[in-house]
Structure 1
Amino acid sequence: MSDTPSNIAEFSVSEISFSIKRTMEDAFGYVRVRGELGRISRPGSGHVYLDLKDDRSVLSAVIWRGAASKLRIQPEQGLEVIATGKITTFPGQSKYQMVIDALEPAGAGALMALLEERKKKLAAEGLFAEERKKPLPVMPRVIGVVTSPSGAVIRDILHRISDRFPLHVLVWPVRVQGETCGAEVANGIRGFNSLTPDGAIPRPDLVIVARGGGSIEDLWGFNEEGVVRAAAESEIPLISAVGHETDWTLIDLAADLRAPTPTGAAEIAVPVKADLMANIDDLSRRLFSGLSRLLSNRRTELRAAGAALPAPRDLLALPRQRFDTAAASLERGLIVNTRHHRSSFDGVSSRLSPYLLTRGTAEARRKLDDMEARQTRALTVAIQHKRQAFAGIASRLTPDRLLQMAALGTERLDALTGRLDRAFQTRIAQQRAQLDGLDKLLTSLSYKDVLARGYAVLRDGTGQPVRSATSVAQGATLAIELADGTVDAVATSGGPQLKKAKPKPKQAEPSKPASAGQGSLF
C-alpha cells in the first residue's frame, strides 16, 4: 500500500451517519407512500413497527406512540394503505425507515376487504348470533341515546319521541366521525350499562346508537371492534340507527335491532300514546259492557232459581210439626221413666236394711279371720317339712360321701372317654374304607385309563364329543384330547364347508367325589 498522504476528508462514524440522515430528510421531507402492510409489531412502549411492501421492495416504518393513538384505522397485516410521513435513517444500525404520521386505506376496496375480514372474525366469536339478542321493552321509562348532541339526529329523535310518547331521554354526547369516534361510542354504551337502576341518574331501559348517513369512511368508527364488542356485551337492549337504510355497519349486526334511520329507531322504541289511550278506552268500554251483561245474566239466573224454591213457611212447616209431636211425646216419656226408676229404687231400698248390712259385714269378717288362721297353719307346716328335708340331705353330704361321689364320677367319665375314642376310630376306618371303594370304582369307570393306553377323545368346537364321522363338516375346528393334553385340529374332509368356529375353553376334568363326612359317632 502506498504511504502517500491523501487529501480526502476523514469522517467519524457518527459524522457520516448523521450526514446521511440529514441528506435523506432534506431530499424526502414529507412523502406519501402506497403499499401493503407486512410485518407488524406492537411492543410495550406503545410504538408500532411495521413494513410497507410491494411486489419488489420492502420499506421499514415506525409509528410513534402519540401518532398511533390518533390513527383513523388500526394497521392490520395485508391491508393496502397510503402512509404519510418522512424518510429518515436510524444511525444506530445504518438503516433507513419511514416515520408515519397518518395512515389511511388505499381506496374503498381496501376498506371493504378489511370490513369483511373483521366481520368474519367477530361472527366466528358468536357476537352476531341471534340467540344473544334481547327483546325490546314495550313501554320503556327511560331511553339513552348515544350520538352527537349538536346534530340533526338527536333533534329528530327527541321530536319523534315527544310526538309519540313523551318520556325521559338521556343523551351521551360522542363524536360520530373521526379517530376517537369508536372509543367514545363504546364508552357511551358501557357508561349507560354501568348506571344503577336506583341511582341519581336513572338507568335507561333502552339504548339507541344513532348517526346520520355518510360514506364508508365517515361511518368507519361504527365498524371498529371495540364498538361491536360493547354492543354485544350490553345488558340493556340496544337499537342501532347508523346511516340511512342502505348503509350498514358492524354495530348493526351486533345490536338487538337495526333501525333504517334514527327517526325509525324512535318509532320502534316507543308506542303511540294516542293509540294506547284509544286502545285502553276501547278495552274499558268492552270490559264495562261485558260486566253489565254478566251481572244481567246472573240476576236473571238468580231470579229463576228463587222462583223455583218453595216459600220459607212451607219449608219449615213439616219440621215444625215433627218438633211439636216430639215435644209432646217427650213430656209423657219423662213422666213414665221417672215412675219406673222410682219403683225400682223402692224395691232395692226395702232390701237394704241396717240389720242386713251389719250381718253381712260380720259374716265377711268371720270368713276373713278363718282364712287368715288357715293360711298361717299351712305356712308353718310347709316350713317344717322343708326344714326336715334339708336336714336329711345335709346329713348325707359328709366329706367322705362327697369324695366317694367324685371318684365314681371320674371313673364313669374315663369309661365314657374310652368308649368315645374307640367309636371315633371305628367310624374313621369305616369312612376311609368307603372312600377307597368309591375311588377304585371311579378309576375303573373313567376314560383316562383308556387314553393312557393310546386312545384319544375327539371333541367339536362346542366341546361335545364327536360320535360319528358324518357329523363332522369340512373345515370344522376340532380338539383332540390325549392322555397328556389337548391338540387343536381342523377337519380337511367331511360335510359342507363351515365357518371356522372359535374353540371353547377346555372343559374342566371331572373331579373325584368328595370324601364323605364324619357323620355321627353314635
Structure 2
Amino acid sequence: MSEAAALTNAPELTVSELSGALKRAIEDQFGHVRLRGEISNYRGPHSSGHCYFSLKDAAARIDAVIWKGTFSRLRAKPQEGLEVIATGRITTFPGKSSYQIVIEQLEPAGLGALMALLEERRKKLAAEGLFDETRKKKLPFLPGVIGIVTSPTGAVIRDILHRLSDRFPRRILVWPVRVQGETSAGEVAAAIRGFNALAAGGAIPRPDLLIVARGGGSLEDLWSFNEEEVLRAAAASDIPLISAIGHETDWTLLDLVADLRAPTPTGAAEKAVPVRAELLGDLADRARRLDAAALRLLDRRRADLRALARALPGPESLLATPRQRLDRAGDRLRASLAAALSRRQLALANASRLLARHAPHAEVQRAAGQLNNLAYRLGAARGALIEKTGERLKTLAARFGAARFASQALLRNDLRAREEKRRALAARLDAAARVFLARRREALGHVEKMLAAVGYEGVLRRGFALVRDAAGAPIRSVAQAPDGALLTLQFADGRIAATAGPPLDRAPAKKRAAKPPKAKAADQGSFF
C-alpha cells in the first residue's frame, strides 16, 4: 500500500477532539498530585477572584490556577518567591494547548519557609505601624463583661473560666471558633469584628475586654494567629485585647499587635481581673486607716480650738479701740462739713457772676450785632459777585462767538473738500462704466458670432432641412416617423407640411415575408 493511501486511511480528528482526548488522558493519569516549587509571576487575585501564577524549580515550570472559592479557604496565601507544596489535579487548557495544575491546597515547604514568610509579614506590618506602643489601649481595671475568642471544647476555656471565678467572677461571653485549620483565621477575625460590632446597651452586652486564647502547639498549629486577616482585625479593634496564644515560649504576630500579651491563657485571666479577696482586704484596711485618720484629725481640731479660745481677748478690750476711733472720726467730720460749706458758698458766688455776664438780654444784644455785621458783609459780597459774574458772562459770550465762527468756517471747508471728492469719484465712475459697457458689447458680439456659427439656421442656409413631428419636436431617425405621420420641413426661407411614407432603403413587408424560410434559418444560425 502506498504512503498516500496510508494517510488517507488514518482517522480524521478535529482540534477540539484531540484536545479533549489529551485532557482525559492527562487527568486519568495524574488525577491527584503534590508538587513542590517556587511561586513565580504572582500578581494577586484576578478581577474574577481567581489566581493565576506558575510553579517552578531549577529546570522546569508549570502553570497553576486557584479558583475563587478555594482561595478564600486557603490557610497559607500565595506570595511571589515563596516555596510551597501544592496539592491538586493536573488538567489541560485547550485555549493555549498547555497543561496546568488546579491547586486545592497550599502550604509552605518546611519550617524555614514559614519563618521567612513570618519575618517578611512582621516587617511589613511593623512598617505600617501595627506594632507601635502608642496605638495600644490601656486595659480596664475591672471589666464588667469579658469576651473570649477560643475553641469551646478545649481545656483553654475551662482554665480561663476557673481562674476568673477564683479571682473575681465576671460575666463571660464566649465566641466559639476553630483555633487550627484552613478556616481558623477567618473565624477568629470574624469573632473580633463581631464583638466590636455589638452596640452598647443592647440585648447582648458589649465586652469591655477581649481575650484571644489557644493552647500550645507547633508553628504550623499556631499559624492562624499569624495571618494578616486576624492581625488587621485585632489592630482595628476598639475594645482592648489580650493575646494568650500557646505557652510562654510560643509567640505569634498577634502578640505584637494585641494591647497586652499573656504568657498563657491562665495568665490572661490573671491580667484581666484583680483578686477579689485582695481587693476586699485592701478596701477594709483603707477603711480602718480612714477612720483612724478622721479621729486623729478631730482631736487635733479640738485642741486647736481650745488654744485659740484661750488666746482671744475680752469683749471690753476689743471694743475700746474702735470707740476711740469713732470719736476722732466724729470730730473730723464736723470740721470737714464746715470747710465744705465754705467752698460751696464761694463756688455759688462765682457762678452768679458768670451767669450775670451770660444773661439772656446780653446774649440777644451780642447776637443782634453779629447779625447786622453779617448782613452788611452779605450785601457787599452779593454786589461783588454780581459784577464778577457779569464780567465772566461777557468773556464767555465772546469766546463762544469766536468758537462758533471758527466751527462754521471749518464746516464749510469740510463741505467743499467733500464736494470735490464726490465730483472726482463721479468722473471716475463714469469712465469706468463706459469701459465696462464697451467690454460687454465686444463680448456680446463674439457670442453672437459663435451662436451664428454653431446654430442650425446656418446649416439650413447650406441646403439642409429640419424635420419636426406634429408636436414640433425634431425627428432624428426613421423610426420616429411611421407611415402616414404628419411632418413639418423647415428650410432656410420657410416651412412646408409633408406626410411620411415607407422607408426607401428596405423592401415592403410582404416581399420580406415571401423570402424562403430556409435562407432565413441559415441567416439566424450564422455566428458571423
Q: What letter corresponds to residue 156 of structure 1 in structure 2?
A: D
Q: What are the ranges of 5 or more consecutive residues in structure 1 without an aligned counterpart?
A: 327-374, 391-401, 411-522
Residue number among 10, 18, 42 corresponding to 1:16 in the alignment: 18
Q: Does 1:124 align with 2:127?
A: yes
- Structure 1 counterpart SS, 2:73: coil
**Structure with max Cα Rg:** 2
Among 199, 212, 221, the alignment partner of 2:215 is 212
Listed one character per residue, the Cα deviations across residues 132-183 of structure 1 (whole Å, up to 9, x for unaligned) are: 1111111222211111122111111111111111111211111111111111
Distance between the aligned counterparts of 2:13 and 2:168, measured in 1? 81
Deviation at 1:311, TM superposition (A): 5.1
1:98 correspondence with 2:101: yes
* Change over 3 Å in CA distance of 1:3–1:280 after alignment to 2: closer
1:240-319 pair list within 5 angstroms: 240-310=243-313
Question: TM-score of the superposition, structure 2-length normalised?
Answer: 0.59
Q: Which residue does 1:164 correspond to in 2?
A: 167
* CA apart distance, 1:310: 4.3
Provide the rounded CA distance (Å) in 2 between the counterparts of 1:59 and 1:297: 93
Task: State yes or no: 1:197 paired with 2:200.
Answer: yes
1:145 aligned onto 2:148 = yes
Task: Kindly report which structure 2 residues correspond to 1:83-482, keeping only aligned pairs within 5 A, or say none.
Answer: 83-310=86-313
Amino acid at match of 2:66: I
Q: Take 1:81 and 1:95, find their aligned partners in 2: how far apart are those partners?
A: 22
2: distance between equivalents of 1:406 and 1:271?
114
1:17-72 Cα deviation digits (max 9, x unpaired): 11111221222121111111112252222222121100111111112223222222
Q: 1:64 aligns with which of 62, 67, 72?
A: 67
**CA RMSD of superposed structures (Å):** 3.4
Which protein is richer in helix relative to its size?
A: 2
Structure 2 CA distance, aligned partners of 1:31 and 1:203?
48
Distance in structure 2 (CA, Å) of the matches to 1:225 and 1:299: 69
Cα distance change, pair 68–294 in 1 and its aligned pair in 2 (3 A): same
Please state how far the C-alpha of 1:276 moved relative to its aligned partner. 1.1
Aligned amino acid, residue 87 of structure 2: T
Check the 8 A contact 2:211/2:242 in 1, yes or no.
Answer: yes
CA distance in 2, matches of 1:119, 1:84: 27
Q: Is the partner of 1:155 in helix, strand or coil? A: helix
1:115 counterpart SS class = helix
**Aligned: 1:33 with 2:35:** yes
Q: Distance between the aligned counterparts of 1:108 and 1:3, measured in 2? A: 62
In the alignment, what sits opposite 2:331?
none
Partner amino acid, structure 2, of 1:9: P
TM-score by length of 1: 0.60
Residues 75 and 185, structure 2, Cα contact 8 Å, conserved in 1: no
Distance 2:162 2:314 in 1: 71
Amino acid at match of 1:138: F
CA distance in 1, matches of 2:321, 2:387: 99
Judging changes above 3 Å, is the alpha-carbon distance between structure 1 residues 11 and 313 closer, same or farther for their aligned structure 2 residues?
same
8 Å CA contact 2:243–2:262 kept in 1: the answer is: yes
**Residue 271 of structure 2 aligns to a residue in which SS?**
helix
What SS is found at the alignment partner of 1:111?
A: helix
Aligned length: 339
Structure 1 residue 229 displacement after superposition = 0.8
Q: Return the letter of the residue paired with 2:279.
A: L
